[in-house]
């Protein structure tokens, strides 16, 4: 049975917001009927992408297709429906000694969303994207047929779907390989960098650590321009006789939209100074939840930006131009009236040649979260020109307003017209 509602909805950035008809099918047969009923629609998971990727006048929600279909605790192969949340898997796979090879910075995303965005994590140089560990999936096409896709079967469609933003069809279920772990503890090392040169040097010097992600102080200037902290980690060995159990943490909630004046140059500067001073240096042990999912500690943190929402600008540059390009991006941001509240720097490795739609390229990516203002769109245009000049691209899962060329994906060249989002219409013009 399919329940349908009309509602105002937005993705995690709370911009743009639209009124849409949202269908909640419960079975694959319901999904087929809904696809054949609509001329245009897009599948949507938990809405954790930031821009307009999973928005359309007609939305097919996969949240009721959330069953774990199979889990082999010996081989670490899991199969689930597309609406299954990674968060709901943790209490099952971790006690059995397994974790995700690749996970983004939040756990409340769906399996189908992980495929559509081909998500990456803090270990891309070593493990690549989610598609590297995807075995196969069932895809419902525009004509109602269901095809199985893998590297050996319908391989072109497999790779078009990975990172294809839902434009090839609706993923019904998928099988993927997990990673063996022996502890829920992580050995973490914080490296403070006094300026941008130190920041890139920290990534390069510690390239043997399997996980790394950096924070950049976008307000720093002069001799401290580009200062930040790189957080490195690796899995710890299991403690004797310690049972594996996923470490759930207490969370705080932002119960309402904050006033727009909350995030201002002074409050952001104080926040940045606190992050830099608290980071310290050296090593310590943390748990899986602490290292991989820091953003999940505060529920509804997107409300901190107020009802206006926010724009995340995430781009990746080739390794040869990363330092120069990111320096110029930060200088451009520094000279604008718009200040990012959050900023994350990551290092990326090579990707399979077949993964034509995956976001990361061998180099560095930077994600900047800006409160949505009247001037931020002009800043995005300037950043687009810089990123393009340095041979980079933006992440379509986060994009809300970049130029059509910036994802380096042509929606007209693949996929099916029936599966259309606001993003596809915007960049396909």
The 10s digit of each residue's pLDDT in 270-293 is 999 999 988 877 899 999 999 999
258-279 burial, b at 16+ Cβ within 10 Å, e below that, comes to eeeeebeeeebeeebeeebeeb
Q: Is the pLDDT of residue 242 over 80?
A: no
Q: Please tell me the least confidently modeled range out of 7-11, 36-40, 160-164, 250-254.
A: 250-254
Q: Is the pLDDT of residue 409 over 70?
A: yes
Q: Is the pLDDT of residue 254 over 70?
A: yes
**How far apart (Å, rounded) are the C-alpha atoms in residues 363 and 318?**
4
- The model's confidence at residue 157, banded by pLDDT at 50, 70 and 90, is very high
Q: Is the pLDDT of residue 397 over 70?
A: yes
**How far apart (Å, rounded) are the C-alpha atoms in residues 152 and 159?**
11
**Helix residue ranges, H only, 129-195:** 155-161
Question: How many residues in total does the chain contain?
Answer: 429
Q: Is the pLDDT of residue 241 over 70?
A: no
The 10s digit of each residue's pLDDT in 71-97 is 999 999 999 999 999 999 999 999 999
Share of the chain above pLDDT 90, in %: 95
Whole-number pLDDT of residue 279? 85
Nearest-5° angle of CA 289, CA 123, CA 173?
75
Whole-number pLDDT of residue 240? 61
Average pLDDT of the residues in 154-169: 98
Share of the chain above pLDDT 70, in %: 99
Q: Which of 132, 17, 7 is nearest to 61 (CA)?
A: 7
Q: What is the mean pLDDT of the chain?
A: 96
**How far apart (Å, rounded) are the C-alpha atoms in residues 111 and 125?**
22
The 10s digit of each residue's pLDDT in 8-61 is 999 999 999 999 999 999 999 999 999 999 999 999 999 999 999 999 999 999
Whole-number pLDDT of residue 429? 66
Q: Please tell me the least confidently modeled range out of 105-114, 200-209, 240-249, 404-413.
A: 240-249
Burial of 367 (0-12, 13-18, 19+ CB in 10 A): buried
The domains of the chain, with CATH numbers, are 3-63+423-427 (3.30.43.10), 68-181 (3.30.465.10), 185-406 (3.30.70.2520)
Question: Which H or E run includes 51?
Answer: none
As a whole number of Å, the CA-based R_g of the chain is 21
End-to-end C-alpha distance for the chain, whole angstroms: 36
Whole-number pLDDT of residue 258? 96
Average pLDDT of the residues in 115-125: 98
Kindly list the distances between the CA atom of residue 267 and the CA atoms of 105, 262, 264, 285, 288, in Å, as whole numbers in the listed order: 24, 7, 5, 30, 30
Question: What does the DSSP assignment read for 62-85?
Answer: -TT---EEEEETTTTEEEEETT-B
Whole-number pLDDT of residue 243? 84
């Amino acid at each position: 049975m399919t329940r349908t509602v009309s509602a105002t909805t937005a993705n995690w950035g709370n911009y743009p917001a639209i009124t849409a008809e949202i269908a909640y099918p419960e079975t694959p047969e319901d999904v087929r009927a809904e696809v054949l009923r609509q001329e245009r629609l897009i599948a949507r998971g938990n809405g954790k992408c930031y821009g307009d990727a999973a928005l359309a006048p007609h939305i097919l929600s996969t949240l009721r297709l959330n069953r774990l279909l199979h889990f082999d605790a010996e081989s670490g192969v899991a199969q689930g429906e597309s609406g299954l949340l990674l968060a709901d898997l943790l209490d099952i796979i971790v006690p059995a000694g397994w974790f995700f090879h690749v996970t983004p910075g939040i756990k409340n995303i769906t399996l189908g969303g992980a495929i559509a965005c081909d998500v990456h994590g803090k270990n891309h140089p070593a493990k690549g994207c989610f598609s590297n560990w995807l075995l196969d999936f069932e895809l419902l096409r525009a004509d109602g047929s269901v095809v199985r896709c893998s590297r050996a079967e319908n391989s072109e469609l497999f790779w078009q779907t990975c990172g294809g933003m839902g434009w090839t069809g609706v993923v019904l279920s998928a099988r993927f390989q997990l990673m063996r772990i022996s502890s829920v503890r992580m050995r973490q090392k914080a490296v403070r960098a006094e300026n941008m040169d130190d920041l890139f040097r920290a990534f390069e010097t510690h390239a043997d650590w399997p996980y790394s992600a950096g924070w950049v102080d976008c307000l720093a200037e002069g001799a401290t321009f580009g200062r930040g902290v790189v957080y490195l980690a690796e899995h710890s060995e299991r403690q004797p006789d310690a049972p594996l159990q996923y470490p759930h943490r207490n969370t705080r909630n932002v119960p309402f939209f904050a006033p727009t004046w909350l995030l201002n140059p002074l409050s952001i500067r104080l926040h940045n100074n606190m992050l830099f001073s608290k980071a310290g240096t050296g090593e310590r042990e943390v748990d899986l939840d602490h290292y991989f999912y820091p953003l999940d500690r505060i529920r509804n943190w997107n409300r901190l930006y107020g009802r206006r929402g926010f724009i995340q600008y995430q781009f990746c540059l080739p390794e040869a131009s990363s330092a120069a390009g990111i320096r110029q991006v930060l200088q451009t941001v520094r000279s604008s009236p718009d200040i990012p509240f959050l900023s994350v720097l990551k290092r990326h490795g090579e990707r399979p040649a077949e993964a034509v739609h995956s976001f990361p390229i061998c180099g560095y990516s930077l994600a900047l979260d800006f409160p949505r203002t009247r001037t931020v769109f002009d800043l995005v245009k300037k950043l687009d020109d810089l990123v393009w000049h340095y041979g980079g691209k933006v992440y379509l899962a986060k994009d809300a307003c970049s130029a059509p060329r910036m994802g380096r994906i042509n929606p007209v060249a693949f996929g099916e017209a029936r599966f259309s989002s606001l993003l596809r219409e915007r960049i396909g013009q």
